[in-house]
A = this chain, B = another copy of it.
Amino acid sequence: MSWQNVLSENGYRVSGPRRYVMQLLESNAQPMTPLEIYQALSESGRPLGIVSVYRALELLAELGLVCMVYNPDGSAGYVAGAGGHHHHIVCQNCHRAIAFAGSEDLSSLIQRVEKETKFHVSDHLLQLYGICPDCQKALADAVEEN
C-alpha cells in the first residue's frame, strides 16, 4: 500500500507539505532533521512553513511511514520507513541509512536477558553502524592515492 493510500485510509488528506516531505525522504537515504528537510524543500522551490514539516513528520511517524534513525553521537533524523518491522544500518562515513528486514533472530538473546533480569521483553530497538559499499571503495581509493 502506498503512503498516499495510508494517509487516505486513515482519514488524512494527501496535502502538498506531506507529499513534499515524503518524496524528499524517499529520494534521500540520509536521515534528515526537521530543519534540514525544511531547508532542502525551500531551496528546491517547494516553499512550506517549517511548522508544516514538524506536523507532517509527526503524522507520518505515527502512521509508520517514516522513522527515526539515531546516530552514534546521539543526534537523530528521519528516513522514509520501509513498513513492517525493520531496522537500519547506517554508514558512519556518508550517513546513508539502509533498512534491513527484521527477520533477525534475537530470541536466544532475549531469552537470556529475560532470565537474567526477569523482565518481559516485548519490543526492541536495533541499529547497525558501519561503512557502506560506496564509502569502502572511496576510502580504499583514497589510500591508494597516497
Contacts and interface: CB of A to CB of B under 8 A. Distances in A.
Interface residues of A, number: 38
A127 B106 CA distance: 12
A122 to B, nearest CB: 5
Interface string A115-145: 0111111111111111111001000000000
B125 A131 contact: no
Contact of A128 (B92, B119, B132): B119
A131 to B, nearest CB: 5
Contacts of A91: 119
A85 to B, nearest CB: 13
| Total identical chains | 2
Contact of A122 (B74, B100, B119, B131): B131
A41 interface: no
Interface of A: 68, 70, 72, 74, 76, 89, 91-92, 98, 100, 104-106, 108-110, 112-114, 116-133, 136
Q: Which are the 3 A-B pairs with shortest beta-carbon distances? A: A121-B130, A118-B133, A123-B129
Given A117-B132, A122-B130, 13 more contacts: A89-B119, A92-B123, A100-B117, A105-B108, A105-B109, A118-B133, A119-B130, A120-B136, A121-B130, A122-B131, A125-B126, A125-B127, A126-B127
